[in-house]
Each structure stands twice: as C-alpha cells, then as structure tokens.
Amino acid sequence: MISIQSITKKYNHGPTLTFPDWIIQDEEQWLLLGASGSGKSTLLNIISGLLKPDSGEIKINGTDIYSLPLKDMDRFRGQSIGIVFQKPHLIKSLDIFDNIALASSLAGLKINKSRVMTLLESLGLAEKRKNFPDELSQGQLQRVSIARALINNPSLLIADEPTSSLDDENAENVISILTEQAAGNHASLVIATHDKRVRNRVSKEYLL
Amino acid sequence: MNILKLSTKNLLRNKLTTFLNIILVAFGVAILSILFLASTQIGNKLERNARDIDLVVGAKGSPLQLILSSIYHIDFPTGNIPAKDALELMQNPMVKRAVPLALGDNYEGHRIVGTDSGFVSLYDLKLGNGKFWAKDLEATIGSTVAAESKLKIGDKFFGAHGLSDASDEHKQHAYTVSGILQPQGNVTDNLILTNIGSVYKMHEPEHDENEKHHEEINNKEITSILIQYRSPMSVVIFPRMVNQSTNMQAASPAMESARLFSLIGVGIETLKWFAILIMAISALSVFISLYNAMKEKKYDLAVMRCLGASKPKLFFLVMIEGLLITVSGAILGLLLGHLALQIIGFYQESSQARLTGLYFVADELYLIIAGLVIGVVASIIPALQTYRVDIARTLSKDK
C-alpha cells in the first residue's frame, strides 16, 4: 500500500505545488492525469524517491521513504519501485540481458537468470537478449525498459508518459503490457499521461 | 554484475579512444622504464667492473678512452707504454697490486688479454673447468666466450689482429683452451685470458719464430697497468707523479665513469622530461575522453541511480574507468620497455655492455603508482560530476 499525505513542493522560480492525498492499495492500477506543467512529473519523482518534497510524507508498505538515509533510499527504490521512463534509457554498452540484470545488481539483489529470461519471453524479446540497444526498435526498447522495471518484483510500477513517443499500435501494446505485467507481477501501477488513448484502459484516475 | 565489469564494458564500447589513451600512457611509461633499466644496468656494470681498481696507467691520450679500453674493454687502447717504465711503476712502494695488460687481438669479437696471475686475484676469478693459463699460448676463457664460441678445453683457435674483426688472423700460432671460468657477472665473462708472452709471440716477425723468448719484459711494450693502492693517501700523489714525471698517463676509473655519466646524463635527462611530457598529455587525454563521455553518460548515470545505485557507487564507476586505462597502460608500458631493451640487447654489438630486458628495478613500482596517480587525477573531476547529476531533471528532459 502506498499513501501520500499533504505533499507540497516549491520550485525556485515557480508557484508552490500542493498535491491531494492519495492512497494506492496493493495491485491497484491508476492513471495520473493533468495538463503539462501541473506537476505530474514532480509528483512521480517525489513518489519514486528522487525528489524530496518540502513537506508531507510518502509511505510505501509502511516505510516513510524520505526518512531513510540516502544510500538506503537508493536501495529501497531499486528494490520496491520500478520506473518506466518516456524514453527507454538503456545502457548502450550492455546487451539486453545485461541491461535487465543490471537492475538487480544495482539494487543489491542476486541476478536471477531464469526470471530475466521469463520476463524477456513474456515480452517477446527472448531472442534479442544478446543484442545491444542500438540494434532494437523504439517499441522493443520500451518493452525492455518495462522488463527492467519489473525484474526486482517491485510493489509499485511507475510509468511516466510511456506512450507519448509511440504510434497507435505500439501505444496500445505498451498499455496492455503495462497493465498485464503489473497484474501478473502483483505490483500496483501508476501511469502518468495526458494521452487520450490510455484513458479508457484504466479506470482509477487521480487528477491534478 | 559489478562496477568493474560495467566499466570494462563502457571502455570496450569506445575501443578507439580507449586504445589511444592506453597507448599514450604506455609510451610514457615505456620510455621511463627503458631509461631506468638501462641507466641502472650500465651503472651496475661500470661499478662492478671497476670495483677494485684504483687507477689505470697507460699511454697518453684520452683518460676516458684508457678507462674504457682497459677496464670495460669497449674502446680502443690509447697506445702502448714501454714495459720497462711500467715495471718501474709497478714496484713503486705506494702500489699494493699492479696487473699489466697487453691488448690488441680478438677471437670472434672477444678480446684476448695478455696478463699475469695478478689479474686472477684482482677480479677474484674462479675456474669452472680446467686450469688457468700457465705456458705461452694457453688461454683461459670467460663463460660467455665459451657459450658463444662453443670452445671446449683442449680446443685450438687462432687470434685475429685488432679488437673486433676477424680479417687478419695470426695463422702461425694457435691458442689452446686450458680452462673455462665460472660466470663472474662482469666483463671477464667476455674475455680470453692468456700470458703476455703469448701476445708478444703473435706479433713477432715470422723469422723470429724459432728464437727463444726468454728476454726480459723490459724490451717490450704493454698496453696498460691496473693499479691498486696500498693506502688511500696515494689518490692525490700517485696520479700526479705519473702524469708529470713519466711519459704515461694515469686515469681514475671512478672519476672517468662519473664524467662519462655526466656526459650522457644530459641526454637521459632530456628523454626523461620527454617521457614525463607524454605522460602528462596522456593524463589530459584520459581526462578529456572521460569528461566528454560524461555528457552522453549523464543519462546512464541517472538511470542507474533510479535503479538503486548510490552516488559513491557511480563515482567509483567513473574512477575505475580512468584507472583501468592508466594502470593497464602502465603495465603495457613496462612490458614494452622490457621487450624493447631485450631487443636492443640482442642487436647490440659490444657484448661487454649488453643490456637485458630480464632485469627489474624497484623504480618500476613507482611507474605503476604513477599510472594510478594519473588515473586518479584524470578521472576525479568527471567522477565528481556524478554527484551533480540531477536525476529527475535529466530523465524528464526529452532527449
């Protein structure tokens, strides 16, 4: 369960953003909606432990993440939160298999080879495991980044505008994959988007 | 997957840049290691060969040349001195031990030295096989000579006139090998020792061959005398006496070696600075490559932070990339240095001063440390940048 309470964040030259309280139960799937500039990315960064809010608290399974020491928070994030970015952001010098395995080792976990392969197979990427990122298409790369976000069995999967740079068909695919994989891996899902194509796929909405 | 593996993969991705940087470091280290090795080896050889010799007396000319020819057996002798005068000097009360040398012939490039038993005690020579020379035309050969010429005890060989080439052989007299020395680790390994009478015999006109040769040494000439003083006090008086009151010159091995070193020292110093310059350039090049790579790597680093990597971990990731380049460069440089020296030694003409790559000095350890330091210096600024990467902003930028 993730609970967000009385969060505010002020940027140097901007208004103070305040966010409504939000409770995400285990395995719930949410859309985070809002016009650009409304603070969607800010809230996602705060939830993922990348940006410290000025006030308020975020509890993930009972842990107040900003009360952790920096190093522990890095590790906590690696183990309990999977993040899918707008762009895949894979490491160019590593092949697909290693890119996914890296997420385990950076989070301080043992690499589970069969889990990597299972994930790759379920995303139709098994035969690409020895390829490098620059040999894959944009849609394939996005799927790899989903596999990477899921490898450590996170309790929360966050996707930031995952469809904005994809065509209709690929966008449809990515949303299906995200919802199916989150459910299959027993993770809660939050998709931040302003993409209409996504809205009819997920029922719960959090509006900014 | 640890950060070492990740660093290696990053470096392998930019093979050319990595290669260039490693080569730059390696060249600097190689030049420095060649300098270290060569100067230590030459220094050691000079010292070991001149260890117990206080003074060399020979014909007037260049004192350095006299030292080089009589102690190191490299250069040509300055000329000859009358044996009578030499004998007089050898009996001087200040002299503890004096060993006469008669040079002028060689066998396959190994110099034939006519001398007496004083030479054996002066260099503390030990026999490996057979016995020391006793009669005319008996010769005791150094271990290197034996190995290279394949001469065995009882074998006969002809000496050739001159110090290096074999065009003019003394066909009328053959030497017999009477003994082979143990390896001494100095110039005597490369010498053929015989008595002075044998050398005279070689150089007498044909028709004298059957005459008896029991004449006193007095009527003859020799090349030089190696002298040990009875007391250190003589250092001041004796050479002056020789130089002023006789027709010969005295040269001190210690002084001449020091002079020789100061002459070649300028060259060594220049090369040393050149090598240091190359290493500085390599540090700069490693720095620039890492710094430039940081622009591209910012995303990688931000992603890795999201995946749970701590800041110190990423700091070491960048540091290790720099260190991998410079340390492997340093190791490659040392290998190159030794290899180069071994090749130089192989093609060197004078076997007396041969250099070898199979020789290690403690200074080489400093070169590895220098490699580490260059790595740290070049990568510390790019590595510190990892602390400044704003993950949230980097990743939300549409790039």
pLDDT tens per residue across span A150-183: 999 999 999 988 887 778 888 888 888 899 989 9
pLDDT of amino acid B218: 46
Among B10, B310, B395, the residue with its CB nearest the CB of A89 is B395
Of B251, B284, B306, the one marking the end of a domain is B251
- Residue among A97, A183, A84 nearest A143 (CA): A84
Cα distances (Å, whole numbers) of residue B70 to A174, B28, B116, B122: 89, 37, 15, 14
Determine, yes or no, domain membership for B256: no
Check residue A202 and give its pLDDT: 82
Asked if the structure places residue B9 within a domain, the reply is yes
- Write out pLDDT tens, residues B123-181: 888 998 889 998 888 999 999 899 888 888 999 998 888 776 666 777 778 899 999 99
Percentage of the residues of chain B whose pLDDT score is greater than 70? 92
Q: Which of B201, B216, B251 is the last residue of a domain?
A: B251
The answer, yes or no, to whether residue B205 has pLDDT greater than 70, is no
**Inter-chain contact A106–B307, Cβ cutoff 8 Å?**
yes
8 Å CB contact of B1 and A105: yes
Cβ contact, residue pair B308, A79, below 8 Å = yes
Whether residue A200 has pLDDT greater than 50: yes
Average pLDDT for A131-146: 90
* In a shared domain, residues B293 and B196: no
Q: Is residue B94 part of a domain?
A: yes
pLDDT of B207 over the 50 cut: no
pLDDT, residue B353, reads: 63
Grade residue A30 by pLDDT with cuts at 50, 70 and 90.
Answer: very high
Residues B59 and B116 in one domain: yes
Residue B166 pLDDT: 64
Q: Do B34 and B72 have their domain in common?
A: no
- Based on the fold, state whether residues B272 and B338 are members of the same structural domain: yes
Of B158, B111, B156, B154, which Cα lies nearest the Cα of B130? B154
What are the DSSP E strand ranges found in chain A?
2-10, 16-19, 22-24, 29-33, 55-60, 63-64, 81-84, 156-160, 188-193, 204-207
B213 with B288, same domain? no
Contact (CB<8Å) B1/A86:
no
Which H or E run includes B130? strand B127-130
Residue A75 banded pLDDT, cuts 50, 70, 90:
confident
> According to the model, what pLDDT value does residue B216 have?
42
Residue B211 has pLDDT above 50, yes or no: no
Is residue A110 within 8 Å of A50, Cβ to Cβ? no
> Which uninterrupted H or E stretch holds B396?
helix B391-396
B135 and B216 both lie in a single domain: yes
Question: Is B258 inside any structural domain?
Answer: no
Q: Which residues are registered as beta bridge partners of A17?
A: A9
Mean pLDDT, all residues of chain B: 85
The confidence band for B356, taking pLDDT boundaries of 50, 70 and 90, is: confident
Nearest by CB to residue A78, choosing from B1, B308, B398, is B308
Considering only CB atoms, which chain B residues are within 8 Å of A50? Answer: 305-306, 391-392
**B63 and B41, same domain (yes or no):** no
The answer on B192 and B309 residing in a single domain is no
Q: Give the per-residue pLDDT at B399.
A: 41
How many beta-carbon pairs below 8 A join chains A and B? 78
Do A98 and B392 count as a contact with CB atoms less than 8 A apart?
Answer: no
Predicted confidence at residue B178, as pLDDT, reads 92
Asked if A79 reaches chain B (Cβ–Cβ under 8 Å), the answer is yes
Taking an 8 Å Cβ-Cβ cutoff, which residues of chain B contact chain A? Answer: 1-2, 6, 9-10, 12-13, 299-300, 302-313, 391-392, 395-396, 398-399
Tokens matching residue B236? 């001041």
Same domain, B68 and B204: yes
Count of CB atoms within 10 A of residue B240's CB?
10
- Looking at the predicted structure, is the pLDDT value of residue B209 above 80? no
Residue B146 distance to chain A (closest CA, Å): 59
**CB burial readout B191-219, b (16+ within 10 A) else e:** bbbbbbbbbbbbeeeeeeeeeeeeeebee
Q: Report whether pLDDT(B333) > 90.
A: yes
B323 and B391 share a domain?
yes
Whether the per-residue pLDDT at A76 is higher than 60: the answer is yes
- Is the predicted pLDDT of residue B221 greater than 70, yes or no? yes
Residue B219 within a domain: yes
Does residue B282 share a domain with residue B335? Answer: yes
- Using a CB-CB cut-off of 8 Å, the residues of chain B touching A42 are 392
Cα–Cα distance, A160 to A192 (Å, whole number) = 5
Nearest by CB to residue B309, choosing from A74, A93, A111, is A74
Q: Two tokens at B328?
A: 């492997």
Among the partner-chain residues A74, A98, A102, the one whose CB lies closest to the CB of B305 is: A74
Question: Residue B192 pLDDT > 70, yes or no?
Answer: yes
Question: Is the domain of B237 the same as that of B368?
Answer: no
Q: Which domain covers residue B240, as residue numbers?
A: 55-251
CATH homologous superfamily of A2-207: P-loop containing nucleotide triphosphate hydrolases (3.40.50.300)
Percent of residues in chain B assigned helix, strand, coil, to nearest 5: 60, 15, 25
